[in-house]
């Protein structure tokens, strides 16, 4: 058992999960002046025309408001994806809304895109870009739908994503359109190619009108899509000239969990992340890579906990990797441990 394991089991598990997240994140930010001086581990990866310091990044959801990019990079993450950011600020869903299933190495959240809104986050990123950094990670910005925007009003949805794009694209190394969180009503209906195509076109057009450089654009999909729908998104990505696909987001499934049914039922609705996603996320990655060919960037996320998980996801076709739940359970040394293991390959 590592020191972090003991701390997690005997201290963090006694603290309400959302409060523990804020406390842990505060420590990461406080350590930034020291951790940011450490060399980033791993070898460089070229993807989407960008030079990534290494293959591993932090998935969206941890740093929703872009307040701790330097501290997170100091832990070893070669890219940090902030957000999900919405066009307007919103408080998210009522608390409690974040839960642990330690027996499964899983997290359930129904946060509901709580964030400061695109205008505030864009100002924060402008200030961050203006500072000098010893190590500057690749910065991704994940954008989603504001909850009050009617999901069945396609024009309003597109305008909402356009607003976020207009404000955030100037500071993003890449953008991700999130249409796969289960915690915003109706959001996942945007994954249908009939609605997704026009939405991605709108974001692409807004990004191109906003910035002189071309900002790479990806879409993030759910593991709960049927195989034929995964393939349809892959075909759409090729048709639209997307730069990549991120696979996968959280799942609404509760199949195969070790945790007691009573514990799972007591938690209720929300997206589940962590070890239970490993098999399906890897399967989706293989489907995508077989469909899109060797060139499109695929970001593998979901259930990557061990070095073997990371190697398997890369073997399945991932260009880049991301973590979230394993970072929570394994602690601040986890990114460097994964990168050392992958490099020793």
Binding residues for substrate: 64, 109-113, 178, 183, 249-250
Q: Is the C-alpha dihedral spanning 123, 79, 281, 98 positive or negative? A: negative
Contact between residue 223 and residue 181 where contact means Cβ atoms under 8 Å apart: no
Judge whether 181 counts as a catalytic residue. Answer: yes
Q: Exactly one of 181, 192, 260, 344 is catalytic; which is it?
A: 181
Strand pairing category for 98-101 and 106-109: antiparallel
Q: Where are the beta strands (DSSP E) in the chain?
A: 45-47, 50-52, 56-58, 79-86, 98-101, 106-109, 138-144, 174-178, 217-221, 244-247, 271-274, 297-301, 320-323
Helix axes 307-316, 334-344, angle to 10 degrees: 60
Please state the residue numbers annotated as binding site for FMN: 60-64, 84, 142, 178, 220, 248, 274, 303, 324-325
344: left (phi over 0), alpha (psi -120 to 50) or beta: alpha
* CA 176 – CA 186 distance, rounded (Å): 18
* CA 58 – CA 73 distance, rounded (Å): 9
Tokens of 176: 């991700």
- Catalytic residue list: 181
């Amino acid at each position: 058992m590592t020191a972090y394991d003991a701390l997690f089991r005997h201290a963090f598990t006694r603290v309400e999960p959302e409060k523990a997240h804020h406390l842990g994140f505060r420590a990461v930010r406080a350590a930034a002046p020291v951790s940011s001086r450490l060399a980033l581990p791993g070898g460089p990866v070229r993807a989407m025309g960008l030079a990534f310091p290494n293959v591993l990044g932090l998935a969206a959801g941890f740093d929703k408001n872009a307040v701790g990019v330097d501290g997170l990079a100091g832990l070893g993450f070669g890219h940090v994806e902030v957000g999900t950011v919405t066009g307007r600020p919103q408080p998210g869903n009522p608390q409690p809304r974040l839960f642990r299933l330690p027996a499964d190495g899983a997290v359930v959240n129904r946060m509901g895109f709580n964030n400061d809104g695109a205008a505030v986050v864009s100002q924060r990123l402008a200030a961050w870009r203006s500072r000098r950094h010893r190590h500057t990670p690749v910065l991704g910005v994940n954008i989603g739908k504001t909850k009050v925007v009617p999901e069945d009003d396609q024009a309003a949805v597109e305008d909402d994503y356009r607003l976020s794009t207009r404000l955030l694209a100037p500071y993003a190394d890449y953008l991700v359109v999130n249409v796969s969180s289960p915690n915003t009503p109706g959001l996942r209906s945007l994954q249908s190619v009939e609605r997704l195509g026009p939405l991605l076109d709108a974001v692409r057009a807004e990004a191109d009108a906003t910035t002189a450089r071309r900002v790479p654009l990806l879409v993030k999909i759910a593991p709960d899509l049927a195989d034929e729908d995964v393939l349809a998104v892959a075909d759409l990505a090729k048709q639209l000239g997307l730069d990549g696909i991120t696979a996968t987001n959280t799942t609404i499934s509760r199949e195969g969990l070790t945790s007691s049914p009573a514990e799972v039922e007591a938690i209720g609705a929300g997206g589940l992340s962590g070890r239970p996603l490993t098999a399906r996320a890897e399967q989706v990655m293989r489907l995508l890579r077989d469909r899109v060919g060797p060139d499109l960037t695929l970001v593998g996320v979901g259930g990557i906990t061990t070095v073997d998980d990371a190697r398997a996801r890369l073997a399945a076709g991932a260009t880049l990797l991301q973590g979230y739940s394993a970072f929570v359970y394994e602690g601040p040394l986890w990114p460097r441990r994964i990168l050392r293991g992958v490099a020793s390959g």
